[in-house]
Amino acid sequence: MAAALHLFPALLLALLSRAPRAGAARRDVLELGDADFSYLASEHETMLVTFYAPWCGHCKKLAPEFEKAAGRLKGSVQLAKVDCTAHSDTCARFGVTGYPTLKIFRFGRDSAPYDGPRTAEGMHQYMRKQTGPDSVHLKTKDDLDEFVNNYEASIVGVFSGESPPLQVFLQAAALLRDQFRFAHVSDLQPVSDYDVPPQCVLLFRPPRLSSMFEDSLVVFRDQLTVSSLRRFIRDHIYGLCPHMTVDNRDRLRVRDLLTTFYDLDYRLNPRGSRYWRNRVLKVASQFKGRGLTFSVANKKDFLSELEEEFGLGTSDGDVPLVTIRTRLGHKFTMREEFTRDGGSLQRFLEDYFSGGLKRYIRSEPVPERNQGAVKVVVAESFDEVVNDPRKDVLIQFFSPSCPNCKRLEPVYTQLAHLLTSDPDIVVAKMNGVENDVPPSYEVQGFPTIYFSPVGKKDEPIQYKGGRELPDLLRFLKRESSHSLSLGGSKEEL
């Protein structure tokens, strides 16, 4: 009791400090801390909390999107933030080790990590699915019509009473509700307009994406398990040509993906959006089952990607742009203008499947002179230099603006000079900002160093040691396919 009384003044002070001043606008994002987190968080059924640090660049980028999402979710989901530099006890209690960390709370209890999009629209869509029941119980035809007439796809379970399959369906809905919309009926009356059996699951694709080229309703009739339902949704949710957005692109790009970019906006321009998609669908239906997924996207949402990753100008008015990105990171662009009869797209696909297309590689020009001790590699010369089967290659991926890269440069150059007389090893570097990095080289920051040994060019080794000369030399001695030659003689390092 004494401890509780001791905490009361601090809690009261914290609450008063958060009360809006007269005439001041009330913010939609709660500011919580050590003194009041448990007390205030427990008042909200669903709450999204960002744990941040004021100096964190990613946190600053997230902040305006978080504020916008808070306004859109007002009344259904509360958004809150905790400054971990001022309230370290709360952040430690919830295992926060990096910034920003986003978590979903239910009545003050840590429910799940938030792993959805970090845009206002993405957070809005994601968190809307976190409210209410895992699966909505539909009782009438009107309930069903209202539920499936939505911008997103709908999964509806059809069951007879409180059957065991319904419990499996509800379990799947609880696990997948952050990705998809679920509802169920407990008798056949709401689905009497559809010729479906009891104990099945219906997948309704979004009405805006309906077309003559595929069914808008797909029926799951197999034995119902969480895994089988998950596979069914994964294989059928997007259909022949889904609408790719910033928020779902990662889920679509797990496969080889062709995307047609144009002025797509189903809310403001539904007719124009359907016009070009129907032309894509017509061609896509001819290449169905050949391992390529099709999609359409709003060009304005992907301007920087089109320009920086594919080298495509984006000021061509209404003319769609077409790209292919494979799971391995290979990129192709359609250079012929998209024709209204779809002929250009068909020719592009025929060339792609026959192996006649040249991959697009974003690359600086190949250096005319490359006489320095550290060899300059660009994307166009990567295979020739780094994948030379006769040589071990140490390659550094750098950014011209990276301070750590600049500090490493003299050490890296000294290493290259020591090894210039060794004909079996190359010390190289590549600008990782201006050139496409091969998929097998995972570069999360700069500088990143890899070693590509003879006989294992498809298994490069990332260097994670110190950045002084002896550290690099010890690594090369251990991993090199031959005894290193320093200054013209074989040496033990």
Q: Is 206 left (phi over 0), alpha (psi -120 to 50) or beta?
A: beta
- Please tell me which residue in 59, 91, 200, 241 is annotated as part of the active site: 59
- CA pair distance 68, 356, nearest whole angstrom: 47
Nearest of 80, 61, 65 to residue 123 by alpha carbon: 65
* Three-state SS at 471: helix
SS3 324: strand
Rounded-to-integer distance, Cα 412 and Cα 394, Å: 10
Residue 436 is given by DSSP the state: P
- Please indicate whether residue 405 is annotated as part of the active site: yes
CB within 8 Å of 9: residues ≥ 6 apart: none
Task: Single out the catalytic residue among 84, 91, 241, 405.
Answer: 405
- Please identify which residue in the block is written with the tokens 């001041």: 24
- Write b or e for each residue in 312-329: b if 16 or more Cβ atoms lie within 10 A of its Cβ, otherwise e: beeeeeeebbbbbbbeee
SS3 63: helix
Question: Is there a catalytic annotation at residue 56?
Answer: yes
Residues 6+ apart with CB under 8 A from 480: 392, 425, 453
Cα distances (angstroms) measured from residue 27 to each of 55, 123, 327, 391: 21, 18, 43, 61
Is 91 considered catalytic here? no
Among this protein's residues, is 59 annotated catalytic?
yes
Which residues have a catalytic role annotated?
56, 59, 402, 405
